Amino acid sequence: MQSYPMIIDGREVTTDRTYPVRLPWDGTTMAEVHEGNVASLDCAIRASLEAAPMMASMENGERAGLLQKVADLLRRDAEEFASLLVAETGKPLREARLETERAQQTLVWASIAARELRGETVPIDGRLAITIRQPLGVIGAITPFNFPLNLSMHKIAPALAGGNSVVHKPSEVTPLSAIRLAKTFLEAGAPRGAYNIVTGDGEAIGRAMVADPRIAMITFTGSVAVGKEIRAQAGLKRVTLELGGNCPVIIEPDADLTLAVERCVAGSFAHSGQVCISVQRIFVHEKIADEFLHRLKAGADRLVIGHPMQESTEISSLISEEEAMRVESWIEEAISVGATRITGGQRSRATIRPCILAEVPPEAKMSCQEAFGPVVAVNRYSDLADAIRRANDSPYGLQSGLFTRDLTRAFETARKLQAGGILINDVPSF
């Protein structure tokens, strides 16, 4: 069985402790990973501090070339990365390939951005004010389990494009692709210490990263609870947070129903719903609700459930059996307070059949919290203003979707929906 070390200062670093990475589908141990600690983090920060001036002194074109080279290598090794993603996340192979492709695109866009970094000259009161963009130094990146390659790239590529160095703490359950990625950066010619990987306990290492004054900025993707804790502890340190969601979609009576169903099936059940912008609440006009539910059920029931390495598989396991049990309990809780099960929700180990619930009360967890599972709540409405109010009745606000052929109504509704992004005739996506 392959053993995966940390990558610190351009070298493989091992410890006297390892832990298993298991395929969520059936619990098979896929690899052993060396477990880092706060001392490992200190080594990574020191290496990153040494590399930071080298990254800062590189010309924009050099940094752009480095990122493009990594993109080319990632394209060359795409099947290897996709297999690693399947092994650590349990997502279907077809989704792992898409994630690998998206990571390549992120690198290319970061490469373009690196070439375009420039300041401004601003005339004020007979003088010229000149602004320049300077690297911050060491960036601490903390990433989740659900998109361990692409969400890592969302942090690493822009940081390096800006001339910074990175200390990366991947999720302890999905570190394999990040470790392999660090080796790819070294192959591409990145300075030693420019990108360091520390594995192990997320809470202990994460707290130490946030508290360490040598790290100039923390970029985190994960739960709202942890994000709030990071924000409270960070003090004056720069922080970017991408947190949870409970994304709504409104479907008006004039919508293209075929398109709406197709996109809602994909948006609700991709990666078994383990996506921060997964469609969790659908508000459909009462005039078309029966037909929509009929088609949505048919679409959900057609999804192929199976081993993630099978080419035909569309739905596989959640990240763990514990998470599947939690989602199962949320489904049962919604039914106990008045929701109707339209289809799905049955659990086998870590896998749950795609589930549709109808008329879910607002107090149910499915309505007001982030499910992070293959389940969607469908509620009817008669008045668009009421649908907007119910869509906004959430502590989250990542994205919302709206299906209608009336563009005037679409833009008017978009201004009233309280979300960072409004997608018209599509579901939330990133």
The string of pLDDT tens digits covering residues 284-330 is: 999 999 999 999 999 999 999 999 999 999 999 999 999 999 999 99
> For position 430, what pLDDT does the model report?
79
3-state secondary structure of 87: helix
The size of the chain, in residues, is 430
Q: Which residues make beta-bridge pairs with 356?
A: 343, 376
Q: How many CA atoms lie within 13 A of 393 on its CB side?
A: 17
Catalytic residue among 35, 242, 314, 328: 242
Q: Is 291 an active-site residue?
A: no
- CA pair distance 63, 116, nearest whole angstrom: 11
In 10 A of CB 187, how many CB atoms? 12
Q: Cα dist. 139→92, 175, 219, 232 in Å?
A: 31, 18, 7, 18
Query: Which of 247, 264, 276, 355 is an active site residue?
Result: 276
- Do residues 160 and 195 make contact, with C-beta atoms less than 8 angstroms apart? yes
Kindly report the backbone phi and psi dihedral angles of residue 6, in degrees, each rounded to the nearest multiple of 5, phi listed first: -75, 160
Question: Is residue 178 a contact partner of residue 85, using CB atoms and an 8 Å limit?
Answer: no
Per-residue pLDDT at 202: 84
Q: What single letter denotes the amino acid at residue 89?
A: T
Q: Looking at the DSSP assignment, which residues form a beta bridge with residue 247?
A: 279
pLDDT value of position 1: 81
Note the pLDDT of residue 354: 99
Smallest CA-to-CA distance from 342 within 389, 312, 299, 399 is with: 299
CA-only gyration radius of the chain, Å: 23
Collapsed DSSP state (helix, strand, coil) of residue 200: strand
- Output the six-digit token pair for 280: 């969790």
- Report the DSSP beta bridge partners of residue 290: none
CATH 3.40.605.10, the chain: domain bounds? 3-242
Compute the distance between CA of residue 348 and CA of residue 351 in angstroms, rounded to an integer. 5
Supply 15's token pair: 């410890």
Counting DSSP H helices and E strands in the chain, the numbers are: 14, 21
Q: Which CATH superfamily is domain 247-424 in?
A: Aldehyde Dehydrogenase; Chain A, domain 2 (3.40.309.10)
Q: How far is CA 371 from the centre of its chain?
A: 15
Burial tier of 76 (Cβ tally within 10 Å: 0-12, 13-18, 19+): exposed
Q: Which sign, positive or negative, has the C-alpha torsion 50, 54, 60, 62?
A: negative
* Cβ atoms of 148 and 89 closer than 8 Å: yes
What backbone phi and psi angles, to 5 degrees, belong to 127? Answer: -125, 170
Q: What is the DSSP string of 281-341?
A: EEEEETTTHHHHHHHHHHHHHHSPB--TTSTT--B---S-HHHHHHHHHHHHHHHHTT-EE
Burial of 57 (0-12, 13-18, 19+ CB in 10 A): exposed
Question: Which CATH superfamily groups domain 3-242?
Answer: Aldehyde Dehydrogenase; Chain A, domain 1 (3.40.605.10)
* Separation between Cα atoms, residue 147 and residue 425, nearest integer Å: 25
pLDDT > 70: what percent of the chain?
Answer: 100
For the full predicted model, state whether its pTM sits above 0.85: yes
H-run or E-run covering 12 = strand 11-13
What residues does CATH 3.40.309.10 cover in the chain? 247-424
Q: Which amino acid is at 47?
A: A
| Contact indicator for 429, 278 with CB cutoff of 8 Å | no
Low-confidence ranges of the chain (pLDDT < 70): none
Say how far apart CA 185 and CA 99 lie, in whole Å. 18
pLDDT at 126: 84
Tens digits of residue pLDDT in 182-224 = 999 999 999 999 999 999 988 899 999 999 999 999 999 999 9
Distance CA 324, CA 322 (A): 5
Strands 340-343 and 355-358: antiparallel
pLDDT of residue 118: 87
pLDDT tens profile 72-89 = 999 999 999 999 999 999
User: Could you confirm whether 276 is annotated as catalytic?
Assistant: yes
